Amino acid sequence: MARALLCVDRLSKAYAGRTVLDAVSLSVASGEVVAVLGASGAGKTTLFRCIAGLAAIDAGSVHLDDTPLQALRGRALAAARRDIGLVFQQHNLVRRLDALDNVLAGRLGRVPAWRVILRRFAGADLSRAVAALDRVGLIEHAHQRADTLSGGQQQRVAIARVLAQESRIILADEPVASLDPVTAAATLALLRGLARERGIGVLCNLHQVDLALGHADRIVGLAGGRIVVDAQPGTFDGAARTRVFGDLPDAPIPAPVTDRSGAVLH
Amino acid sequence: MSPALDRLPQRPFASVAAGRFRFVAVLAIVTAFYALCLHYADIDLERLWTGIPRLIAWAMRAWPPDFAELDLLLARALETLAIATIGTTIGAVIAVPACVLAARNLTPNSFLRTPARWVLNALRGIDSFVFALLFVAAVGLGPFAGVLGVALHSAGTIAKLWSEAIEAIEPGPIEAVAMTGATRTKIVVFAVLPDVLPSLTSIVLYVWEVNARASTVLGLVGAGGIGQELKNSVDLLLFPRVFAILIIILVMVTAIDQLSAWLRRRLV
């Protein structure tokens, strides 16, 4: 396998004395889609916040290529973040800006400050943002204010923002939680397409096993702040499922969903 | 009856007792505080009783209001409005960098933020009137001293209210924009301002409205405006003129209140 793009090594994090992440190690190669599966409260969101540098880590390291992210501060951190796209579970759009402006925000790391202050984006940045918005199927809504969009549309604008950012890795925290099943599958297919086309590494939090089986190259299971499974979808069996989610007698593993939909997002 | 009700745990006795004790303690403190205030405020109903006929006599002598010098009075009222407007504007300009320093989510560094807050609290704690008193001594009589007084006090008030409005915004969009690699200036311009601009404008309008009211008394310390005419007229016992001035103040302040409230309603 190619050398890992993102390398998380024995990362630990505690909040108020309670261990949330316990020596978590994982890696994502470029072009690879890794799904992180775990029940609510398993520490998935905390893991993403630690990798992104939004939360300080207590021990361990996070490397993007050879750059140790946990050591960066200020401008160096901002510069490194251009390569890390984060899709938040709560979308986190700027509510009073329209959809297109929110996608343009993805370009902020590469645009000079005066252009940001005057809202005069260069043609190349604008066309990237428009293309990203088109790719998630929302070009008709470009000039609609973010807070008037539906939850699913907001989620897709957030994904378009990450597309426009052109990061080398995408961390997606429950990116399909507020989407209907068809759009959810299409969105994951889109993320996988990006990984293939651009060689982006994708690390994606999910809590639905079927989605992970259908779309990921590798599945990492998180339970109680520890990695309990690291497997290919083909080898993720009932035992692995139990290690991640505990015993749920009446919940067999659903059949993997083939990602057929390209109708909503192409 | 639902069996779940039987399993509802009892509130621990200790917390119930603590709640009662706290209530009695708060009641005792508030009572003591009022007793102290009544003592120091020197409340004397008898003096009020004997003073009322004097007030009524003045009020009767004040009728009809004397608008003989309407031109002058209106010019002075305009001066008051000008003091409030220019003072609020200068205060807002000072508040722009100050509120960034005072807002916890924009300046996480407390070595910078804590002193900034002290300064703002000091500016806000000293009234425009008091600042004007000092500025009259420094730059001489007239509206300019009033402008400086209003500006300093407003800078503290606006920056404080602004920084609170900024602190109240959701952290999510700021984090999201920070994750694109944006530096602080870009984050403020792109994620913070669009969210808070309506409430920031509303705050300036509110402070302007308060200043228009507060500036009517600046003349008492010689800092210009309609208050100067008010003081002269009271000193000379020209009650019909005092009455006319009070009417002008009331009309002006009410008009500005309405205008400001209307504008603020449109902002939300």
List pLDDT tens digits, range A142-154.
999 999 999 889 9
Q: Work out the average pLDDT over A195-211.
A: 91
Q: Work out the average pLDDT over B149-172.
A: 92
Q: Work out the average pLDDT over B112-140.
A: 90
Q: How confident is the model at residue B34 (pLDDT cuts 50, 70, 90)?
A: very high
- In the predicted model, is pLDDT for residue A37 greater than 80? yes
Q: Which residue of B has its CA nearest to A105?
A: B177
Contact predicate B216/B225, CB 8 Å: yes
Q: What is the pLDDT of residue A262?
A: 38
Q: Give the architecture (CATH level 2) of B70-267.
A: Orthogonal Bundle (1.10)
Which CATH number goes with the domain that contains A163? 3.40.50.300
Same domain, A122 and A13: no
Question: How close does chain B come to A258, measured CA to CA in Å?
Answer: 31
Residue B2 burial (C-beta neighbours within 10 Å; 0-12, 13-18, 19+): exposed
- Residue B160 CB partners (closer than 8 Å, separation 6+): B99, B102, B120, B121, B124
Same domain, A110 and A1: no
Same domain, A61 and A180: yes
Q: Which residues of chain A neighbour B185 with C-beta distances below 8 Å?
A: 113, 116-117
Q: Which of A106, A139, A167 is the last residue of a domain?
A: A167
Same domain, A79 and A175: yes
Q: Work out the average pLDDT over B225-247.
A: 89
Instruction: Using the structure block, give the residue that is written with the tokens 């992210």.
Output: A69
Q: What is the pLDDT of residue A42?
A: 85
Residue B204 burial (C-beta neighbours within 10 Å; 0-12, 13-18, 19+): buried
- Residue B53 CB partners (closer than 8 Å, separation 6+): none
- In the predicted model, is pLDDT for residue A255 greater than 60? no
Which ipTM value was assigned to this complex? 0.85
Q: What is the pLDDT of residue A251?
A: 52
> By percentage, how much of chain A surpasses pLDDT 70?
92
Q: What is the pLDDT of residue B104?
A: 85
Best of B109, B166, B177, B179 to disrupt the A interface by mutation (most A CBs within 10 Å)? B179
Q: Work out the average pLDDT over A183-204.
A: 91
Q: Which of A167, A185, A208 is the last residue of a domain?
A: A167
Same domain, A196 and A176: yes
Domain chopping of chain B, boundaries:
70-267
Same domain, A200 and A211: yes
- In the predicted model, is pLDDT for residue B128 greater than 60? yes
Q: Which of residues 64-103 of A touch B (CB under 8 A)?
A: 75, 78-86, 88, 90-97, 101
**Domain of A33, in residue numbers:** 1-83+171-266
- Residue A54 CB partners (closer than 8 Å, separation 6+): B175, B178, B179
pLDDT in tens, A49-75: 999 989 989 999 999 988 888 888 888
- Percent helix, percent strand, percent coil in chain B, to nearest 5: 85, 0, 15
Q: What are the backbone angles phi and psi of residue B108, rounded to the nearest 5°?
A: -70, -20
Same domain, A207 and A255: yes
Q: How confident is the model at residue A249 (pLDDT cuts 50, 70, 90)?
A: low
pLDDT in tens, B186-199: 998 899 888 898 88
Question: How close does chain B come to A171, measured CA to CA in Å?
Answer: 11
Q: How confident is the model at residue B28 (pLDDT cuts 50, 70, 90)?
A: very high
DSSP B217: G
What HEC string does B39-66 produce?
HHCCCCHHHHHHHHHHHHHHHHHHCCCC
Q: What is the pLDDT of residue A253?
A: 53
Same domain, A66 and A106: no
Same domain, A114 and A75: no
Same domain, A48 and A61: yes
Q: Which of A112, A146, A167 is the last residue of a domain?
A: A167
The domain tally of chain A equals: 2
Q: What is the pLDDT of residue B268?
A: 66
The model carries a pTM of 0.75
Same domain, A143 and A184: no
Q: What is the pLDDT of residue A264?
A: 39
As a whole number of angstroms, the distance between CA A70 and CA A168 comes to 17
Same domain, A150 and A188: no
